[in-house]
Amino acid sequence: MVSNFIIINKQVCHAFKAPEVLAKGVAYDSSADWFSFGCMLYKLLKGHSPFRQHNKGKKHSQDKNEIDKITLTQDIELPDQGFSPECRNLLEGLLKRDVHERLGCKGKGAEEIKTHPFFRGVDWQVVYLRRMAPPLIPPRGEVNAADAFDIGNFDDDEVKGVKLADADSELYKNFNIIISERWQNEIAETVFDVVNQDADKSEQKKRAKLKTRIAVDEKGETDLYIHGYIKKLGGPFTSAWQIKYGKLYPSRLELYPESLSGKPELLFMDQIDEVTSELQQIKGESAIVVKLKEGLKENRVILTNQDEISLKEWHTSLRTAHRVSQELLQRMGRKAIKIYGVNHDPMLQESERPGSVTRAILNRASSTDSGI
């Protein structure tokens, strides 16, 4: 019965929501249900909501903002064709943006709809008793959708032997309503879009930020050997694989958290004693074992990658960076000895150096000044 017609707005289809429901910070009551009722009648008559008539061909997920804008700012203009004068007047009355002008909201509630000329000749008592013969009875099996005959006619290989038992029927015996499959699909689509919209935006921003940061690194850091995601054995008692974003430079290895936020772990090449020549099996994974020099907090760092090619590339790059670093340090050491002598320590102040070294430097300076 119309007097008992109530729609829960939180469950109503997105395109059926009244302007006061969509507006932020605006209180509303059951008056919004009459607007939704008008949307539902329109869809039953035309096959789409009144706010999608100007958006034909667009995907549902693309026109939500436009639907909201039309709902909040425009009165519905019904086409001249396809509606009787009574039907047109009923829909225009239900779809008023101004609540006080909306049919059903002028003080008499459902009586305003029941007495409308569109429902002239309807015996509401017969409707209440559910004795009114429907004007159209669709053929059996064609109630939900055009492909309804396919329901229950699956091939055995498609259902994989699944059959409904008495226990399954028991779950549905107390259901007092049957909802069109098309209707359910539209509502499900709307709900999923609303729920996932914010999450999708957040994920897109995160990916764009990560992509930009990586692009800047690749462009600006010309001494970068290799970079990418890699797993490090860590955690309590070094027992769990942790995902890191690694950057290998000639002098150091930087291991960032997976999110690329926060400070990286730093491992300098002069702290490394050896990068083993062969990959080793660690906790079921082929891994790179980096042995560290004595005196450090850890005695080794273990790295792996699920991609075999990437793992070998990291292994080769680490060994190369360590070897080049060692050769550079050795050359610098030999050059320092050649210039300053074996006992020279560049970190000592002039007054702290051994007398013999100080005298040698002074003698060298005197010889230079005299032109020798």
The 10s digit of each residue's pLDDT in 113-123 is 999 999 998 99
* CA angle (308, 309, 313) in 5-degree steps: 115
Question: Which of 110-124, 127-141, 175-189, 207-221 comes out lowest in average pLDDT?
Answer: 207-221
90 exposure class (CB count in 10 Å sphere: 0-12, 13-18, 19+):
buried
Give the residue, 346 or 167, on which the prediction is more confident: 167
Question: Which of 99-108, 291-300, 304-313, 342-351 comes out lowest in average pLDDT?
Answer: 342-351
Output b/e per residue, 145-181; b: 16+ Cβ within 10 A.
eeebeeeeeeeeeeeeeeeeeeeeeeeeeeeeeeeee
- What average pLDDT does the segment 199-210 reach? 72
pLDDT, residue 118, reads: 93
pLDDT, residue 6, reads: 43
- What average pLDDT does the segment 270-292 reach? 91
Q: How confident is the model at residue 368 (pLDDT cuts 50, 70, 90)?
A: very low
- What average pLDDT does the segment 149-162 reach? 51
Query: Which segments of 80-141 does DSSP mark as H helices, in order?
Result: 85-94, 111-114, 124-128
With contact defined as beta carbons under 8 Å apart, do 269 and 251 qualify? yes
Give the residue, 311 or 82, on which the prediction is more confident: 311
Q: How confident is the model at residue 203 (pLDDT cuts 50, 70, 90)?
A: confident
**Across 50-64, 287-301, 353-367, which has the greatest mean pLDDT?**
287-301
- 5-to-33, 97, 123, 263, 323 alpha-carbon distances in Å: 8, 20, 17, 60, 80
This prediction has a pTM of: 0.37
Question: Which of 156-160, 241-245, 323-327 comes out lowest in average pLDDT?
Answer: 156-160
> Which residue from 297, 282, 174 is spatially nearest to 233, judged by alpha carbons?
282
With contact defined as beta carbons under 8 Å apart, do 304 and 283 qualify? no
- The owner of tokens 């039953």 is 44
Residue 7 has pLDDT above 50, yes or no: no
Share of the chain above pLDDT 90, in %: 18
Residue 111 has pLDDT above 70, yes or no: yes
Element (H, E) at 182: helix 181-220
Question: Which of 162-166, 256-260, 315-319, 339-343 comes out lowest in average pLDDT?
Answer: 339-343
> Which residue from 315, 203, 307, 200 is spatially nearest to 259, judged by alpha carbons?
203
* CA angle (23, 29, 34) in 5-degree steps: 90
d(CA 178, CA 255): 57
pLDDT, residue 13, reads: 58
pLDDT, residue 165, reads: 74
pLDDT, residue 15, reads: 64
Give the residue, 354 or 332, on which the prediction is more confident: 332
pLDDT in tens, 22-69: 887 788 888 889 998 998 898 888 877 777 654 444 444 446 777 777
Share of the chain above pLDDT 70, in %: 68
- What average pLDDT does the segment 221-233 reach? 83
- Its sign, for the CA torsion 12, 15, 18, 23, is positive
Q: How confident is the model at residue 214 (pLDDT cuts 50, 70, 90)?
A: low
> Which residue from 50, 3, 13, 9 is spatially nearest to 26, judged by alpha carbons?
9
Question: Which of 257-261, 285-289, 323-327, 368-372 comes out lowest in average pLDDT?
Answer: 368-372
140 φ, ψ (degrees, to nearest 5): -60, 130
Element (H, E) at 315: helix 308-340
- 165-to-95, 169, 176 alpha-carbon distances in Å: 46, 7, 21
- What average pLDDT does the segment 92-115 reach? 90
Q: Which two tokens stand for residue 186?
A: 């539209």
Average pLDDT of every residue of the chain: 75
**Across 64-68, 210-214, 218-222, 271-275, which has the greatest mean pLDDT?**
271-275
pLDDT, residue 142, reads: 55
